[in-house]
Amino acid sequence: MLYPVESETREVKDLSGIWRFKIDRNHEGYRNKWYETPLRDTIMMPVPASYNDITQDATIRDHIGDVWYERTFFVPASWADKRIMIRVGSATHSAVMWVNGVEVAAHKGGYLPFEADISDVVHVGVENRVTIAVNNILDNTTIPIGKIKRYDDVFHPPGYKVQEIYHDFFNYAGIHRPVKLYTTPKVFIEDITLVTDIDGMDGLIHYNIAVAGPTSPEQIRVRVADEAGNIVATGSQLKGTCRIEKVQLWEPGNAYLYTFLVELVTKEEEIKDCYRLPVGVRTVHVTNKKFLINGKPFYFKGFGKHEDMDIRGKGLDDAINVKDFNLLKWIGANSFRTSHYPYSEEILQMADREGIVVIAESPAVGFNFWNDKEVFTDEHVHPEALAHHLNVMEEMIKRDKNHPSIVMWSVANEATTHEDGAFSYFKAVADKTRSLDPTRPITIVQNTNPDDCKVAQLFDVICVNRYPSWYTDSGHLEVIERQLEIELTKWHTRFNQPVMMTEYGADTIAGFHSDPPVMFSEEYQCALLEHHHRVFDRLDFIIGEHVWNFADFATKQGVTRVGGNKKGVFTRQRQPKAAAHLLRKRWHTERR
């Protein structure tokens, strides 16, 4: 799925701004057809943003069900003969969209885009209206998985229910990424798939272009331009390979982006459609002990992150995102994981540009919170959840396949992979992911005991989350090295794969000090990280360290969370804790 960009044949109109917003408290919006006429009694709501923290009303923050967004727009007269699309960057977790009262799209999955051709429902010369109903419910058919818990007792008001979530981040909802109108010609470039390779000094770009529309284009023109704008390779078919002599590779920390330009051209050389896609030439391979980018061992240094900030919640914010990339560079990180859901396309574009390596994760999180009960049963994980998970993998890969920064897909975080039922579930997910993208390694992020894991053989890299001396042996830093070394070695020996530590860390209150260290102090976080690092440095099959978390983030309320999860190396406002300076020292030193 191509990102909407401007070109000489395409226009983009961003509908970000203040929309009209209404909570559907009595679940009447669909019944009363709120999409047919302008919404009444609305409040202001920014798009993109989560709606939860915008008002002073806790019932809006904690609402379960539908909310309605609406705004009007004009279609320029010059768009009359164009294909007019509307595209929602994401609406969490499911949405239905109407334009001028006509349903144009319905989408399930809160972190990926959807779009609709609205050429036949919009009018030039009058105001058009877009209405989007967004639903935030998580249940046993959704990813993340969740449950609506209903109370039927005298201690709760009649009909009382709560949204149970089984993951450790606030269930922010709303329109989190921009809504855009864009045009294409009627015959248009529908998709481009690029796979790159290296042949000696040269780079290869294998391409596959999909064109759609009522007629076939007369000619296809493909050109590859370097960063100075020089044409370095050409093509003239829908499918082929461009060879770039003496290629400049896309390397971690040293990104080089060519522009892959596709044009649909008439015999008279008139350009009917054109699309420019940044492309980085690089390869990715995995051995039993190393992760190779361009044939060289790559050691992941960085974080599990979140899209999370004060007030806007998970809403796209360029200022925060640029700040985060600056902090990644400042601290010497070379990578991050999009824990626990696909991040915005805008963030991935920055990673491509800045040479930051990304492990892209699906929103399959929370498959482990039934404690003693089995998770992989039809009651807890409905067959529809697997179907949805497969669909999410497909949408994610279709959206993100061309990003050089993404080097691996993570299909899930912390599932109960010791259960027998987990095998068939993740076999289906792994097979689907490989069939969608045979070019990237795949992983599943685990916290299972290595002796019991039933699924790691389906994947290429062992990714482990562990909290010794935090959730287990709390306060006992001295156990870390022994426990970690035994466990990580077991993972490697049993599955003969490289091992990456995808989460380790400690909640830390910025400004709280204690020597000797106690839990929650800045000293404890530093000491905990150092113990881990000593183990990583003695094991040659460890391919990376991602501290949990880049910054403090919002969670649901609970007795273990004081104003959210405080495992950030930076505060939620992006100020460094002592651990940031420790990591900066470690990561700026070349190792391995």
Cβ closer to ligand BDP: 303 or 541? 303
CA distance 70 to 44: 10
Footprint on residues 534-553 left by ligand BDP (CB under 6 A):
548
Count of CB atoms within 10 A of residue 414's CB? Answer: 23
Determine the 3-state secondary structure of 99 from DSSP: strand
Q: How far is the CB of 529 from ligand BDP (least distance, A)?
A: 14
Helices of type H across 32-184: 58-61
Determine the 3-state secondary structure of 78 from DSSP: helix
Q: How far is the CB of 382 from ligand BDP (least distance, A)?
A: 22
Cβ closer to ligand BDP: 433 or 447? 447
The dihedral sign for the CA sequence 29, 30, 33, 34: positive
Can residue 52 be called a binding residue for ligand BDP (CB under 6 A)? no
CA distance 62 to 308: 17
CA distance 145 to 93: 11
Cβ closer to ligand BDP: 171 or 465? 465
Options 168, 273, 324, 419; binder of ligand BDP; rule CB under 6 A: 168
Q: Which residues of 3-34 are buried (b: 16+ CB within 10 A; e: fewer)?
A: bbeebebbbbbebbeebbbbbbeeeebeeeeb
Tokens linked to 539: 């094991």
With contact defined as beta carbons under 8 Å apart, do 352 and 257 qualify?
Answer: yes
With contact defined as beta carbons under 8 Å apart, do 87 and 180 qualify?
Answer: yes
Q: How far is the CB of 466 from ligand BDP (least distance, A)?
A: 9
Footprint on residues 480-509 left by ligand BDP (CB under 6 A):
503
Q: Which residue's CB comes closest to ligand BDP? A: 168
Q: What are phi and psi of 500, to 5 degrees?
A: -125, 140
**Does 297 sit behind a cis peptide bond, omega within 30 degrees of 0 on the bond before it?**
no
Options 50, 184, 465, 525; binder of ligand BDP; rule CB under 6 A: 465
Q: Show Cβ contacts of residue 333 under 8 Å, excluding neighbours closer than 6 positions.
A: 301, 302, 303, 356, 583, 587
Cβ closer to ligand BDP: 497 or 565? 565
Q: Residues 414, 419, 487, 545: which is the catalytic one?
A: 414
Footprint on residues 556-575 left by ligand BDP (CB under 6 A):
565, 567
Helices of type H across 33-107: 58-61
Can residue 361 be called a binding residue for ligand BDP (CB under 6 A)? no
Active site residue 503: yes
As a whole number of Å, the end-to-end CA separation of the chain is: 38
Binding mask 205-244 for ligand BDP (x = CB under 6 A): ----------------------------------------
Q: How far is the CB of 508 from ligand BDP (least distance, A)?
A: 11
Can residue 413 be called a binding residue for ligand BDP (CB under 6 A)? yes
Footprint on residues 314-343 left by ligand BDP (CB under 6 A):
340
Can residue 525 be called a binding residue for ligand BDP (CB under 6 A)? no
Can residue 414 be called a binding residue for ligand BDP (CB under 6 A)? yes
The secondary structure of 119-141 as a DSSP string is TTT--BTS-EEEEEEEE----TT
Binding mask 415-454 for ligand BDP (x = CB under 6 A): --------------------------------x-------
Q: How far is the CB of 297 from ligand BDP (least distance, A)?
A: 26
Q: Residues 395, 419, 503, 545: which is the catalytic one?
A: 503
Q: How far is the CB of 368 from ligand BDP (least distance, A)?
A: 8
Q: Tell me which residues are annotated as active site.
A: 414, 503
Query: Which residues bind to ligand BDP, rule: CB under 6 A?
Result: 168, 340, 413-414, 447, 465, 503, 548, 565, 567
